[in-house]
Amino acid sequence: MDTAGLSPFMVSATKLMPDQSASTADGYWLSMTRDTQTATAQVFGMILVRDRFSMAAAIEAGRAWQRLHLMATKEGLAAQPMNQPVEMVDRNVMLKRTDTFAADLASLAQAPGWEPTFTFRMGYAERPAGPSPRRPLEDVIVRSA
């Protein structure tokens, strides 16, 4: 909740409340995405690659996002991944379900031969989000003897 862009009061209140059910949390997420995040975004963007399932392309796309996000932050812009549509393409492939997301993403991208692999929004934040909670470095470093 620290990084959700909520007011300090709301962050504190959500931490004190019991966990929501999955359906309540899903409904809240959907409403925030539809009514707040996408409704107020000044820019939507996509990172495109030739083959979304290429590990090299995935790594390069991740590096491109890191550079873009750092540059935006330096310029006073906020940026947020909004990659759920791309993740749904993967999920539908994995579950062998009929997919509608890939065609919609391709239509938005308007770049034949390229596939969206990362989507995001960017703009000027109404208020700064708090820093992400971090573990101490010694908690994540593995030392071999």
What pLDDT digit, counting tens, does each position of 1-50 carry? 776 667 788 888 888 888 888 888 778 778 877 887 777 788 999 999 99
Closest CA to 82 of 69, 73, 94, 67: 69
Closest CA to 78 of 130, 14, 113: 130
Confidence of residue 64 (pLDDT cuts 50, 70, 90): very high
Closest CA to 52 of 80, 83, 97: 83
Output the pTM of the full model: 0.75
Question: With 80 as the cut, is the pLDDT of residue 93 above it?
Answer: yes
Query: Token digits for 57?
Result: 């392309």
At position 54, the amino acid (one-letter code) is S
Question: With 70 as the cut, is the pLDDT of residue 96 above it?
Answer: yes
pLDDT at 5: 67
CA distances from 21 to 5, 26, 35 (A): 22, 9, 21
Distance CA 60, CA 23 (A): 35
